[in-house]
């Protein structure tokens, strides 16, 4: 039976897919937690190359022998909404200035993509989470 490695640290970061650099804030966060920044950045960029700059969540597990593993998460809902609409950011005044509109199909597509990570038990509940995020960004949504 293989001996399990002893975990010393588990932490989360968000970085641009395929374009992460060891510059702050990523490099210092990795170094402070015992991860070789150069080694991590190389592996992370290779694994996320197809996301091309979209922010990606990552859970990093560090072991006692200073080796590490990482698990990629789907981009945050706000990033998926921005990508779907082709905008740089949300509205500064979401209750007054609207920046776009999501169709019901786009809301469903985003909910499907985030299905594993959202807390809703049904697709309709997950779609409501997406609509709430969109509303806080100044995006209107078509009714389902």
Closest CA to 88 of 58, 54, 112: 54
Question: Within this chain, do residues 117 and 131 fall inside the same structural domain, yes or no?
Answer: yes
Identify whether residues 41 and 59 lie together within a single domain.
yes
pLDDT of residue 3: 63
Q: pLDDT > 70: what percent of the chain?
A: 97
Residue 1 lies in a domain: no
Residue 2 belongs to some domain of the structure: no
Express as a percent the part of the chain with pLDDT over 90: 54
Half-sphere exposure of 114 (CA within 13 A, CB side): 29
122 within some domain: yes
Longest dimension (CA), the chain: 62
> What Rg do the C-alpha atoms of the chain give, in angstroms?
18
Average pLDDT of the chain?
89
Q: Are residues 81 and 49 in the same domain?
A: no
Q: Which of 112, 99, 9, 123 is nearest to 59 (CA)?
A: 9
Residues 91, 60 within the same domain: no
What range defines the domain where residue 55 resides?
Answer: 7-72
Same domain, 54 and 87: no
**Same-domain check for residues 29 and 53:** yes
Task: Kindly report the CATH number assigned to the domain that includes residue 15.
Answer: 3.30.1550.10
Higher pLDDT: 106 or 1? It is 106
Q: Tell me: the pLDDT tens digits for 33-78? A: 889 999 999 999 999 998 888 899 999 999 988 899 999 998 999 9
Domain final position from 35, 53, 72: 72
The predicted pLDDT at position 11 comes to 93
Same domain, 85 and 61: no
Q: Do 84 and 61 share a structural domain?
A: no
Model pTM score = 0.79
Provide the pLDDT for residue 52.
83
| Count of domains forming the chain | 2
Quote the crossing angle between the two packed helices 77-85 and 104-113, to the nearest 10°: 140
């Amino acid at each position: 039976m293989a001996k399990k490695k002893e975990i010393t640290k588990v932490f989360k970061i968000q970085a641009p897919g395929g374009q992460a650099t060891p510059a702050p804030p990523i490099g210092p966060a990795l170094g402070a937690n015992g991860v070789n920044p150069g080694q991590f950045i190389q592996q992370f960029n290779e694994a996320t190359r197809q996301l091309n700059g979209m922010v990606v969540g990552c859970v990093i597990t560090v072991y006692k022998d200073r080796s590490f593993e990482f698990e990629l998460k789907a981009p945050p809902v706000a990033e998926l909404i921005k990508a779907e609409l082709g905008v740089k950011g949300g509205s500064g005044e979401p209750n007054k200035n609207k920046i776009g509109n999501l169709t019901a199909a786009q809301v469903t597509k985003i909910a499907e993509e985030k299905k594993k990570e959202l807390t809703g038990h049904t697709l309709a509940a997950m779609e409501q989470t997406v609509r709430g995020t969109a509303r806080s960004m100044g995006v209107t949504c078509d009714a389902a």
